[in-house]
């Protein structure tokens, strides 16, 4: 057998029925999604040392007005909803894992979001999931068959906008004034709430 045929043979050998199924029954990712930052988008933050932070306790966890309706509208329009949240305060010793999990359970139960991803790392860990890196979005895209080119990121910091751009989202929307960050990409839109982000996406995004 010559070299070319050997290569072709080795490729065909790897094309098991399950691979063919993956290739032909799911030729590309097909579902659009809205990626949602948590603190400052879904729920109010608390200020500590002048910076907005996640609430400490589940008792202090408050949804912003209009969030439930916005999620429902996304689902009705055919979008999956994926929460992607950095929670470095556990590693810093400022927050307990139990409290973070309890708050995320409130989000899952009351908003019925499709999925929720958490990065518990700090920057020094060098992980791929901590926003501004797009690891959580890419993991979700692989798991949920998400078409990133039809999807949107909504966040209140420029790190969220960077993650959306890096993942190849169609748009990345900033809620509120944002944090100061040099050389950050310009958001697709600036709005004051998730409800307004939903108005913008559902009016212009399809």
- Contacts with Mg ion by CB under 5 A lie at 37, 39-40, 156
* Contact partner at residue 156 from Mg ion, Zn ion, none, CB < 5 to 8 Å by partner kind: Mg ion
* Contact partner at residue 175 from Mg ion, Zn ion, none, CB < 5 to 8 Å by partner kind: none
- Number of Cβ within 10 Å of residue 30's Cβ equals 10
Active site residue 145: no
Strands 80-86 and 33-36: parallel
Supply φ then ψ for residue 91, to 5 degrees.
-65, -30
Closest approach of Zn ion to the CB of residue 132, in Å? 11
Q: Which 96-155 residues touch Zn ion, going by CB under 5 A?
A: 119, 121, 127, 129-130
Task: State the angle between helix axes of 67-76 and 97-111 in degrees (0 to 180), rounded to the nearest 10.
Answer: 60
Q: Taking a C-beta distance cutoff of 8 angstroms, is the pair 90, 100 a contact?
A: yes
* Contact partner at residue 119 from Mg ion, Zn ion, none, CB < 5 to 8 Å by partner kind: Zn ion
Active site residue 13: no
Tokens coding 179: 């944090």
Report the catalytic residues: 37, 39
List residues near Zn ion by CB under 5 A. 119, 121, 127, 129-130
């Amino acid at each position: 057998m010559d070299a070319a045929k050997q290569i072709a043979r080795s490729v065909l050998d790897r094309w098991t029925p399950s691979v063919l199924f993956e290739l032909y029954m799911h030729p590309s990712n097909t579902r659009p999604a809205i990626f949602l930052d948590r603190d400052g988008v879904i729920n109010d933050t608390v200020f500590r040392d002048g910076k907005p932070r996640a609430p400490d306790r589940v008792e202090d966890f408050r949804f912003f007005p209009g969030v439930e309706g916005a999620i429902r509208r996304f689902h009705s329009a055919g979008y999956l909803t994926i929460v992607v949240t950095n929670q470095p305060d556990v590693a810093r010793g400022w927050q307990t894992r139990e409290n973070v999990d309890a708050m995320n359970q409130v989000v899952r139960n009351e908003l019925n979001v499709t999925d929720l991803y958490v990065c518990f790392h700090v920057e020094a860990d060098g992980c791929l999931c901590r926003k501004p890196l797009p690891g959580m979005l890419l993991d979700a895209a692989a798991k949920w068959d998400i078409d990133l080119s039809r999807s949107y990121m909504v966040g209140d910091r420029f790190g969220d906008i960077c993650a959306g751009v890096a993942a190849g989202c169609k748009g990345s929307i900033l809620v509120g004034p944002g944090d100061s960050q040099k050389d950050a990409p310009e958001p697709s839109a600036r709005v004051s709430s998730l409800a307004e982000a939903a108005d913008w996406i559902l009016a212009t995004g399809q």
